[in-house]
Amino acid sequence: MNRQVRFLFGDMKHTLFHFCINFMQLTAGLILCCYVLTIWHDFRIVKNQIRQATEYTEIYMLRDDTSYKKFDTIINEKVCLKKLGELYEYIQEEINNARNSSGFYLADSSMKFYYSADASIPKHVAEYDSITGTYHSLKLSVTANFFEIFHLDLDEVEKEDVEAFDFPYKEKQEIPVILGADFRTVYKKNAIIQDRDGLPYRVIGFLKKNSNYVAPDESRKLLSLDKVIITPQIIDKTDSLNIVRYIQNLYIMSDKREIADNIVDFSRSKGLFDLSVINFSYQLDCIISDTEDEIFINSVFMFIILLFTCVGIIGNLLQFITNNKKEFAINLLCGANRTDIIFRILLQILVMMVLGILTVFFLFGFTKSFCLTVLFAAVLTIAVMGYPVYWVKRQTITTMIRRSYE
């Protein structure tokens, strides 16, 4: 084995330029392969999740087309705060009236959870904010039906605890939270977490590992929930921004578009937001088509890069064999066998593959896509070695010596 390693360094030294070119091509192909597999994997999850949510109904979203100037007025004028409260109450009335025929849910991922200074901070799932000098985690504020709509598996969570997500909360009352799977190493069920404002949060359970969520208005982006703190959507009717976030993150699940249209009309009648209704089911079909095109284009690029890489590697190996025929023949005369020669050639390919796979690992981590890329690299290695192995096995010592002088 030591002799083979010495041969490897010597062979790489003599073919360094071609080795580097092949390595860069191979690495680019493997990175693109892992990228395509990641897109494809996430896309399948996204499509299935949204398809399940819209199997028997439509999802409508309220898009805000309000100008910046008007929006600033709505946020800062006291008279508008009262109107915002009326809009909120109107939406609640619509929700109650349509409870049997339609569904509403909230999912706000725009905020972060900032830990108190003396909290047990899970640094492996928290980021440090140099401006505030505190740690924070991603926060997703939802309604109780969110977990059922998106088929999220909960662990150690009682049904009544989930229903508590829809109850109003008083000051200093413990707020229930569900944590992503990565928080298990830090918190247990019923643990109390305080945020930087001193609000207490009680852990009522955890999500299963590898839980994901996709927002309909961000359907290309798959959000891993492993490092997310899920809290109830708490509405403060004295805070205009709080009500605005409520409206912007409201999703209406119904076969009747009139419910969404009524909210739009009420908002405009009060001189508030210029809202419009988006039917996500139509958008989903367009997004699916666009994503499939993206996967196809990247796959074509990957195929072209790897094709040229394989041709280049095979050509360089054959050139290497041609340049070393005499040496191989002498090795065979001195007791070596063809397996030793094949292994010497294979080592060069393995070094390139291992370095390429390590590069992919550093970029993508240990994921399903990475494992499939490793499997693909193994198949590629076998394919690339096919012809050189065949060539070596069919050559006799006499043929090698004779052709070394051609």
User: What are the tens digits of pLDDT across the range 192-234?
Assistant: 888 888 888 888 889 888 787 776 655 556 677 888 999 888 7
Query: What pLDDT sits at residue 174?
Result: 82
Query: What pLDDT sits at residue 358?
Result: 92
**394 pLDDT exceeds 80?**
no
Query: What pLDDT sits at residue 70?
Result: 85
| pLDDT mean over 309-320 | 76
**179 pLDDT exceeds 70?**
yes
Q: What is the largest CA-CA distance in the chain?
A: 99
pLDDT band for position 386 (50/70/90)?
A: confident
Query: What pLDDT sits at residue 215?
Result: 66
**283 pLDDT exceeds 70?**
no
Q: Would the pTM of this model clear 0.85, i.e. be above it?
A: no
% of the chain surpassing 70 pLDDT: 78
Instruction: Pick from 174-183, 296-305, 308-317 the range whose average pLDDT is largest.
Output: 174-183
pLDDT in tens, 101-145: 567 778 888 788 888 877 777 777 888 877 777 888 888 888 888
**176 pLDDT exceeds 80?**
yes
CA distance 403 to 229: 70
Query: What pLDDT sits at residue 142?
Result: 87
pLDDT in tens, 29-82: 888 888 888 878 877 776 776 676 666 677 788 888 888 888 888 888 888 888
| pLDDT mean over 385-396 | 70
Query: What pLDDT sits at residue 124?
Result: 79
Please check whether residue 138 is in contact with residue 113, taking contact to mean a CB–CB distance below 8 angstroms: yes
Query: What pLDDT sits at residue 389?
Result: 75
Query: What pLDDT sits at residue 254?
Result: 77
